[in-house]
Structure 1
Amino acid sequence: MAPKEIEAKKRRTRADYVFHQVYRTRWFDNDMYAHLNNTVYAQLFDSIINAWLINECGMDPFSHNNQNHEHSQARKEPPCEQVAIMVNSYCDYFASVAYPDVLELGLRVVNLGKSSVVYEVGVFKEGEEDVKVVGGYMHVWLDRAAWRPAKEGMETRVRTGLERLLKEPKAVL
């Protein structure tokens, strides 16, 4: 990645992100060097992204595995007939965090294609302004039956939900 892009990521603020979530670190999250293990960041990204997809885009991970699940039955609309597959991930580390830190995560969409989306997650330590980590991944939306990229693109309600996450970061002079 170009140094210019890294410097821009280092200047991210909470205002650069549309959706926010809090995560309380656990002792178990630390690695042997007493900071958050790299794998935990992937879990944090997955959690905030899937919270948005479930709550705002009509995704229902329970509907195709168990038709009687109470969460599926509570939905008023049928479940999404597409599935999102991660095809790329990235993470840029700027400062360490560790248990017992409370983290504030921010989510935005940086690129929305016909059948793909690139998410960005900013990780902030509660009470501190400097971003600690910026990362995310790319989803490609597949037709669930054919297991191929959806020819018509992602479903309308998914696209509508993801469009609400589109936000350019503030320019820093």
Structure 2
Amino acid sequence: MSLSPLPLGGAAPSATRTPSRSAALALVFGAFVLAGCATEPPPPPAPAIPQYTSPIPASALVGRYGLAAYHRPQDATRTETQARAQCSNPYVITDGPNGGVMMYLADDTKLTEVISKQVPGQPTYIGPAEDPAGGERDRQVISFNGTVLQLKWVDPEIAKRYGIMVYVRCP
């Protein structure tokens, strides 16, 4: 009678087959992979609202304004006169609930709270606090002297339609 070598692990062959160690590890690993697929990862944290300097305080913007607009720079003086004449039907800027002011965004019939925002060394913008300075819904401040405010929409298509908005504080 000849002796045959024993299989790895030192056990004699049996009628039922047991899984090898590598197969068992593969099953355990597969279970962990499937468990990882079944659970959803936590949602990413909400982006922080950037902190801007605010060169124009909300209190400086609140008031009643005559409003007009121009497309050509040579029309700026005439448009300011036209805006002043609109004080009989003023555009009203009021305090917002969170420290900004309430104004209309382009093509929107509801008031939205906006803030004055500026990244140091960049232009000043007026727009929603959650948008980055210079975002598509913002208006760039061309000039503001406390009485006359000139704004230009950042979005080129909207700027083309609306031109430079001139707000003249009503007496």
TM-score scaled by length of structure 1: 0.23
Q: Per chain length, whose mean CA-contact separation is higher, i.e. which structure has more relative contact order (CA < 8 Å, sep 6+)?
A: 1
User: TM-score w.r.t. structure 2 length?
Assistant: 0.23
Which structure has the greater CA radius of gyration? 2
